[in-house]
Amino acid sequence: MSAPLGARLAGADVVSDGDTIAAIATPTGRGALAIVRLSGPGVRAIAHALLDPVPETARRATHCRVRDHAGVVIDDVVATLYLTPHSFTGDDLLELSTHGGLVAPTAVLAAVIRAGARQADGGEFTRRAVLNGKLDLLQAEAIGDVIDARSSAAHRAALRQLDGGLSQRVGALRSRILDLEALLAYDVDFPEEDDGPVPRGRIQGVADELIAALDALLATGDRGTLVHDGALVVLAGGPNVGKSSLFNALLGEARAIVTDVPGTTRDAIEAVLDLPGWPLRLVDTAGLRETSDVVEQLGIAASSRYLGQAAVVLACGDDEATLDAARAALRERTTAPVITVATKGDLIPKREQMRADVVVSARTGAGLAELLALVERRLSEQHGEAAVDAPGLTRARHLAAVSAAGAELRAFGAAWRDDVLPATVAAIHVRAAAEALGELIGVVQVDDVLDAVFRRFCVGK
Residue 39 interacting with Mg ion (CB under 5 A):
no
d(C-alpha 51, C-alpha 247), whole Å: 54
Q: How far apart are the first and last CA of the chain?
A: 17
Q: Residues with Cβ < 8 Å from 325, sequence gap 6 or more?
A: 237, 238, 317
Out of 128, 223, 344, 429, name the contact with ligand GTP by CB under 6 A: 344
d(C-alpha 433, C-alpha 438), whole Å: 9
Out of 123, 133, 196, 242, name the contact with ligand GTP by CB under 6 A: 242
The span of 119-127, 152-160, 204-212, 238-246 binding ligand GTP (CB under 6 A) equals 238-246
Out of 103, 182, 347, 373, name the contact with ligand GTP by CB under 6 A: 347
Residue 343 interacting with Mg ion (CB under 5 A):
no
Q: Which of 204, 136, 174 is nearest to 405 (CA)?
A: 174
Out of 20, 240, 322, 340, name the contact with ligand GTP by CB under 6 A: 240
411-to-199, 251, 418, 429, 431 alpha-carbon distances in Å: 19, 49, 11, 7, 12
Residue 279 interaction partner, one of ligand GTP, Mg ion, none, beta carbon < 5-8 Å per kind: none
The span of 22-30, 218-226, 257-265, 389-397 binding Mg ion (CB under 5 A) equals 257-265
Shortest separation between residue 272's beta carbon and ligand GTP, angstroms? 19
d(C-alpha 123, C-alpha 460), whole Å: 7
The answer to whether 289 and 209 have CB atoms below 8 angstroms apart is no
Proportion of the chain in helix, strand, coil states, percent, rounded to 5: 50, 15, 35
CB atoms within 10 A of CB 413: 20
d(C-alpha 1, C-alpha 396), whole Å: 25
The span of 62-70, 262-270, 271-279, 297-305 binding Mg ion (CB under 5 A) equals 262-270
Residue 344 interaction partner, one of Mg ion, ligand GTP, none, beta carbon < 5-8 Å per kind: ligand GTP
Q: Which is nearer to ligand GTP, 61 or 257 (CB)?
A: 257
Q: Which is nearer to ligand GTP, 80 or 248 (CB)?
A: 248
d(C-alpha 139, C-alpha 243), whole Å: 40
Residues 225-254 interacting with Mg ion (rule: CB under 5 A): 244
The span of 160-168, 206-214, 235-243, 453-461 binding ligand GTP (CB under 6 A) equals 235-243
Q: Which amino acid is at 344?
A: K
Lateral strand order in the sheet of 73-82: 51-52, 62-67, 73-82, 93-99, 33-39, 21-24, 118-119
Out of 16, 225, 244, 334, name the contact with ligand GTP by CB under 6 A: 244
Q: Which is nearer to ligand GTP, 174 or 243 (CB)?
A: 243
Out of 239, 392, 406, 413, name the contact with ligand GTP by CB under 6 A: 239
Residues 254-313 interacting with ligand GTP (rule: CB under 6 A): 258-260, 262-265, 287
The answer to whether 220 and 403 have CB atoms below 8 angstroms apart is no
Find the residue with minimal CB distance to ligand GTP.
287
Out of 362, 372, 404, 405, name the contact with ligand GTP by CB under 6 A: 362
The answer to whether 174 and 434 have CB atoms below 8 angstroms apart is yes
Out of 127, 243, 395, 429, name the contact with ligand GTP by CB under 6 A: 243
Q: Which is nearer to ligand GTP, 87 or 240 (CB)?
A: 240
d(C-alpha 337, C-alpha 334), whole Å: 8
Residues 133-172 interacting with ligand GTP (rule: CB under 6 A): none
Residue 240 interaction partner, one of ligand GTP, Mg ion, none, beta carbon < 5-8 Å per kind: ligand GTP
- Residue 101, helix vs strand vs coil: coil
Shortest separation between residue 318's beta carbon and ligand GTP, angstroms? 7
Q: Which of 439, 266, 273 is nearest to 371 (CA)?
A: 273
Q: Which amino acid is at 391?
A: P
Shortest separation between residue 319's beta carbon and ligand GTP, angstroms? 12
Q: Which is nearer to ligand GTP, 318 or 408 (CB)?
A: 318
Q: Which is nearer to ligand GTP, 369 or 420 (CB)?
A: 369
Lateral strand order in the sheet of 231-237: 269-274, 279-284, 231-237, 312-317, 338-342, 358-359
- DSSP secondary structure of 348-413: -S-GGGS-SSEE--TTT-TTHHHHHHHHHHHHHHHH--S---S----SHHHHHHHHHHHHHHHHHH
Residue 265 interacting with Mg ion (CB under 5 A):
yes
The span of 157-165, 243-251, 376-384, 408-416 binding ligand GTP (CB under 6 A) equals 243-251
Shortest separation between residue 168's beta carbon and Mg ion, angstroms? 47
- Enumerate binding residues for Mg ion (CB under 5 A): 244, 264-265
Which residues make up the interface to ligand GTP (CB under 6 A)? 239-245, 258-260, 262-265, 287, 343-344, 346-347, 361-363
